Amino acid sequence: MSLWVDQYRPRTLDDLHYHKELSTRLKSLASSGDFPHMLFYGPSGAGKKTRISCTLRQLFGPGVEKLKIDQRVFLSPSKRKLEINLVQSNYHVEITPSEAGNFDRVVIQELLKEIAQTQQVDLNAKQRFKVVIINEADSLSRDAQAALRRTMEKYMSNMRIILCANSTSRLIAPIKSRCLLIRVAAPSDDDMCDVLQYVAKRVGFDLPPDAADKVVEDSSGNMRKALLILEALKMQSPNLNGPLSIAKPDWEIYCHKVADLIISEQSPSRVMEVRGKMYELLSHCIPPTVILKTVAERVVDKVDESLKADIMHWAAFYELRMRNGNKKIYHLEAWVVKVMSLYKHFFYGIDMSDFD
């Protein structure tokens, strides 16, 4: 069994459902013979990886779909063993260097050097170069980025690099300037509806427009999320007509309940209770930033207009602290306390000026 997201993923540039203009561009680039390093960026679930793989197929033909998953072992400077999963075909290699944590530089350097030094052996290959796909490029450390910058210049003759990132802000300028930037925007709601209908047709069921709209609305531009919701929905209630209730993921509901806790009472003991919940969320692998954002969104929806800006301000403030600090829980809690005290002061009509 395979998830619909994977199963019905478009495989060629022509199959792509939206951003047609981008597709033609990629197509012509791939066939021009002058293929640059590229950087795909855009929000998650917009279809970056799908576009990358379609481009690869355009470059190398169907042979690129013969994949094998390898586990490669790298040695960190302290001779510690790093296991990295590599997905590769004869023509390309895909890595997620952030899996190596702090040692991503080693992985990048070793792997790229190795690939760059081996010539393309397949004489029938359409291109003389190999492609290296680097996922989650925005979480690369500065060191790794510097190393990458060097390699990109050095081995241009038999290697191209495709970076995939959510945003370009965290990439150093030299890398950005060496790549062709490709922005992949999230699909519009109509685009998403089309895709959902297409998938429904492929699977073989009727998707009522209402249901599609609902799914789209719930997934806010994340195509992958939309398809996953649809699949879950279909599994739960095979008959999609009639009123549907889209079950949010557990963690999201949990976050909302936490928000309600914050609003319903403001006291030290409530702080304690919320802390327990935060711990629970964190231990379910929910990234602290996501927790903060989800809870904040919910809180903001429920409070008075005049508080909203301040609540978001502190959310941004403590999110930054979280990045710099070690123990996420402190910062989450600091924000919670801040919101509680804002809320409480608001109700008691106390002058708020010292909170600015």
Partner 1 sequence: MAPRLSQSSQKQDRGYKSKPKTVKLGTPLISTQVQKYDPLTAFSLSQSGGDELAHGGMQKSPKGKGKERDVGYLSVSSPDTDDRLWAELPVHVRKVEDVRRWFHEAFEGGPLGKLRRYRRILVLTGQAGTAKTTTVRVLGREMNFNILEWGNSGSDDNVNDTSYDSYESAFTKFETFFNRATNCRNLLPLVEMSGATSSQQSQKAQNANSRHIVLLEDLPNILHSSTQARFHATLRCLVDRPPSDPPVPVVIIISDSRPRGEAYDEHGVYSRGRNGDGEGVIDIRTVIPRDLLGGPYVTNIGFNPIAPTLLRRALQTLLSTHSSNKDGQPSKEVLDVVVESANGDIRNAIMALQFAYTIGSRDGKSRKRKKGGNIPTSMLESITRREQSLVLFHLLGKVLYNKRKGDPLSSSTSAKDAQREKMQELLMEDPPSLPFWLKEHERRASKVDVDMLYGNSPIDSSLLSLYIHQNYTQFVDGLDECDRIVECLSWVDSSGGEVWYQANPYRFHILSMGTLHALPSPVTRRNQKFIKPQFFEYLENEKEAWDSVHDTRNWLAHSANKSLDNSWRTCSWSGMEVALELGGVLKALERCHGTSRPPRTHQRFSRMEFQSEQLTSQQLTEDDVDIEEASSQMNDMYSGHARGNEEISGQWLESDEIEEF
Partner 2 sequence: MAFFANSNSKSTQKQKHNADPALQPWVEKYRPQSIDDVSAQDHTVSVLRKTLTSTNLPHLLFYGPPGTGKTSTILALARQLFGPDNFRSRVLELNASDERGIAIVREKVKNFARQTPRAQAVSSDGKVYPCPPYKIIILDEADSMTQDAQGALRRIMETYARITRFCLVCNYVTRIIEPLASRCSKFRFTPLDSSSARNRLSYIATSENITVPTEVIDTLIATSSGDLRRAITYLQSASRLASSTDPPTPITPADIQEIAGVVPDPVINNLATVLGIDVDIQMSDSTKTAQKPNSFDSIRKRIKEIMREGYSAAQILSQLHDLVVLHPTLNGRQKSRAALVFAEADKALCDGADEELWILEVALQVYKAVS
Q: Which of residues 293-322 bind partner 2 (CB under 8 A)?
A: 293, 300, 305, 308-309, 312-313, 315-317, 319-320
Member of 16, 42, 50, 58 binding partner 2 (CB under 8 A): 42
For strands 159-165 and 38-41, give the pairing: parallel
Handedness of CA 221, 222, 225, 230 (dihedral sign): positive
Interface with partner 1: number of residues (CB under 8 A):
87
105 contact choice in partner 2, partner 1, none (CB below 5 to 8 Å, kind-dependent): none
CA distance 277 to 52: 39
Q: Which two tokens stand for residue 1?
A: 């069994």
Radius of gyration of the chain (CA): 24
CB of 69 to partner 1, least distance (A): 6
Residue 43 in the binding site for partner 2 (CB under 8 A): yes
**Which of the listed partners (partner 2, partner 1, none) does 131 bind, with a CB threshold of 5 to 8 Å by partner kind?**
none
Amino acid (1-letter code) at residue 251: W
Minimum CB separation from partner 2 for residue 246, in Å? 19
Contact 160, 36 (CB under 8 A): yes
Shortest distance in whole angstroms from residue 159 CB to partner 1: 20
Q: Using CB under 8 A, pick the residue from 34, 69, 121, 349 that binds partner 2.
A: 34
Q: DSSP alpha helices (H): ranges in 237-327?
A: 250-264, 268-282, 288-302, 305-324
Q: Is 24 in the site for partner 2 (CB under 8 A)?
A: yes
User: Quick one: what does residue 156 bind among partner 2, partner 1, none, with the CB cut-off 5 to 8 Å set by partner type?
Assistant: partner 2
344 near partner 2, rule: CB under 8 A: no
Q: How many helices and strands, by DSSP H and E, does the chain display?
A: 14, 7
Q: Give, as ranges, the residues between 158 and 177 that touch partner 2 (CB under 8 A).
A: 167-170, 173, 176-177
Near partner 1 by CB under 8 A: residue from 53, 145, 151, 168? 53
Residues in the chain: 356
Min CB(316)–partner 2 separation in Å: 4
Identity of the residue, 19 or 234, whose beta carbon is nearer to partner 2 in the bound complex: 19
3-state helix, strand, coil in the chain (%, to 5): 60, 10, 30
- Piece of 31-39, 59-67, 198-206, 267-275 that binds partner 2 (CB under 8 A): 31-39
According to DSSP, the residues that pair with 132 across neighbouring strands are 93, 161
Residue 325: CB atoms within 10 A of its CB come to: 12
Determine, following the binding rule CB under 8 A, whether residue 84 of this chain makes contact with partner 1. yes
Compute the distance between CA of residue 121 and CA of residue 90 in angstroms, rounded to an integer: 9
Instruction: Based on the shown chain and the rule CB under 8 A, indicate whether residue 208 belongs to the binding site for partner 2.
Output: no
- Which of 146, 143, 184 minimizes the C-alpha distance to 165? 184
Q: Is position 147 an interface residue for partner 2 (rule: CB under 8 A)?
A: yes
* Strands in the chain per DSSP E: 38-41, 68-75, 81-88, 92-95, 130-134, 159-165, 180-183
> Which CB, 117 or 267, lies closer to partner 1?
267
Strand, coil or helix: 179: coil
The residue to which tokens 């470059």 are assigned: 59
Chain positions 293 to 322 lying near partner 1, rule: CB under 8 A, are: 318, 321-322
| Cα gap 119→353, rounded to integer Å | 67
* 329 scored as a contact of partner 2 (CB under 8 A): no
Positions in the binding site for partner 2 (CB under 8 A): 24-25, 28-29, 31-32, 34, 36, 41-43, 46, 146-147, 150, 153-157, 167-170, 173, 176-178, 180-181, 183-186, 220-221, 289, 292-293, 300, 305, 308-309, 312-313, 315-317, 319-320, 323-324
